Every structure is written in C-alpha cells, then in structure tokens.
Amino acid sequence: MVKVLFVCLGNICRSPMAEAIFRDLVKKEGLEENFVIDSAGTGNWHVGKPPHRGTQEILQKHAIDFSGIRARQISEEDLRTFDYIIAMDMENLGNLRRLAGYNKVGFIGRLLDFVLDSDLTDVPDPYYTGNFEEVYELIQKGCRHLLETIKKEKGL
C-alpha cells in the first residue's frame, strides 16, 4: 500500500485539490486498492472545513469528486505513516522538515519537483491570488508526474 499525503498551509485550497486530482488519476488507472491518499495543512485555522469554494468550483468544472475531504492539521503520526509527503511550496516544505526533525520519515518534497520541464517550483496559493484555474493546471501536471514516478518506483 502506497500512502501519499498532500500538504499546504490551511488544507482548504491546494492540498485538497491535489488529493482529489490524485485520487481521480489513481482511480482512472484502476490502482485505488494500492493507495491511501490524504491531505493536511501545516496550520490549524480551517480544521473540519470543506475545501474552499474556488477549489470546489474548479474540481466540479473538471468532474473530479472531492466528497469526504475536510481540512485537518498534519500530525507527527502522519510523518511516520505516509510514504510520500508532498508540499505545495517551499514554506510548507520547510515546516514539514522542521516537524520531522531527525526522525526517519518517508519522502518529503514539493509537488512541482516532479515536473522536470516546469519553470515554477511552488504552487501559488489561490487563497491569495484567486487563480484557481492556474493552480488546477499545475497540480494536475504535478500529480500526473508524481503518479508516474510512484508507479515506476513501486512497480505498479
């Protein structure tokens, strides 16, 4: 079982979008039984809330299911449990690395690190920019590359 956790700041825009998109890609490839997919935030401001309206609208536009997704804060247990912990930007990557400290954890990296032909390294936060379409495109591309990487690494 491959466990993938997407992480952003508040867990209402980028990381739940990535969770929903990655679930959709995995389902389309018939690999659901091989994965546990979740998302979390480094902050606790939105715990228990559904994805941001902009995230919901863009996912609905692309017919991607986001049912059951609720904001939560990352825990130390997540760091021990998940194989791939995927941050949306450098700030959250730094927060994750500080939280992990010297403990042995799974892979921690940024989503766009998997997109070799991208000029961007961070997925911008649409909570501030309002550009949910751009964020959707970046996350979609990152998730496709992440899934291909995992399939190769795990022989799926």
Catalytically annotated residues = 8, 14, 125
Contacts of 131 (CB under 8 A, 6+ apart): 124
How many Å apart are CA 140 and CA 134, to the nearest integer? 10
DSSP string, 14-63: HHHHHHHHHHHHHHHTT-GGGEEEEEEESS-TTTTPPPPHHHHHHHHHTT
DSSP label of 12:
S
